[in-house]
Chains A and B, each alone.
Chain A
Amino acid sequence: EPEVTQTPSHQVTQMGQEVILRCVPISNHLYFYWYRQILGQKVEFLVSFYNNEISEKSEIFDDQFSVERPDGSNFTLKIRSTKLEDSAMYFCASSEARTGSNSPLHFGNGTRLTVT
């Protein structure tokens, strides 16, 4: 069964550094998402992406965050200047379709980001 893959599985960075989290969504999916989860707590929506532009973003997704689909397969999340509170598990997800659809989101195994 096709799956969403994320790399790296664990990223350690120093405060103020830039990080890029990478995702390869399922190949025929058109809608892409980033979520984060702080220490096994609630899963929080960050951003959704379709047709090479952001569809929706949350309050968490401020100017320090950006997303990109640099080629036909990768979907990246960049944090420009990391803060301690950015430490979390970041999940990428993809879906065949969006609003009004019965398609579930398929999630990757996540990247654990630790900011020191």
Chain B
Amino acid sequence: AQSVAQPEDQVNVAEGNPLTVKCTYSVSGNPYLFWYVQYPNRGLQFLLKYITGDNLVKGSYGFEAEFNKSQTSFHLKKPSALVSDSALYFCAVRAFTQGGKLIFGQGTELSVKP
């Protein structure tokens, strides 16, 4: 069965510093991986996805993620954090089931301080 794990409940970063939000996955076969962001009292917004091809995926708002097959990881990164990046971030894997549901990690709260 497919699953993802986010080992950090919270990540604290100073504005202007690089940020990394970690995600590891467990799938049999090729994974379809996604990152979503959730702002307070809002739905989940799609940031980026990895399907095949280049291991470095670029997405919305200057975010990127690096797929590493040997480490089964898909960490979210941004070179220079903004205070407005503070939010809840979810890693997800697409299940190879009839419904094609997304399976989410437990979420990481990112706090960027000025």
Could you tell me which A residues sit within 8 Å of B by CB distance? 4, 31, 33, 40-45, 47-50, 55-56, 91, 93, 95, 97-102, 104-110, 112
B57 → A minimal CB distance (Å):
11
B94 → A minimal CB distance (Å):
7
Are A98's CB and B99's CB within 8 A?
yes
Closest residue on chain A to residue B97 by CB atoms? A56
Cβ contacts under 8 Å, A91 to chain B: 43-44
Q: Which listed segment binds A: B10-18, B19-27, B68-76, B103-111?
A: B103-111
**Residues in B89-104 with C-beta less than 8 Å from chain A:** 90, 94-104
Are A56's CB and B42's CB within 8 A?
no
Cβ contacts under 8 Å, B45 to chain A: 107
Are A106's CB and B46's CB within 8 A?
yes
For the complex of A and B, 3 pairs with smallest distance between CB atoms: A48-B99, A98-B100, A56-B99
Are B99's CB and A43's CB within 8 A?
no
Are A105's CB and B43's CB within 8 A?
no
A97 to B94, CA, bound (A): 11
A110 to B39, CA, bound (A): 12
Are A31's CB and B42's CB within 8 A?
no
A40 to B42, CA, bound (A): 11
Cβ contacts under 8 Å, A95 to chain B: 100
Are B96's CB and A99's CB within 8 A?
yes
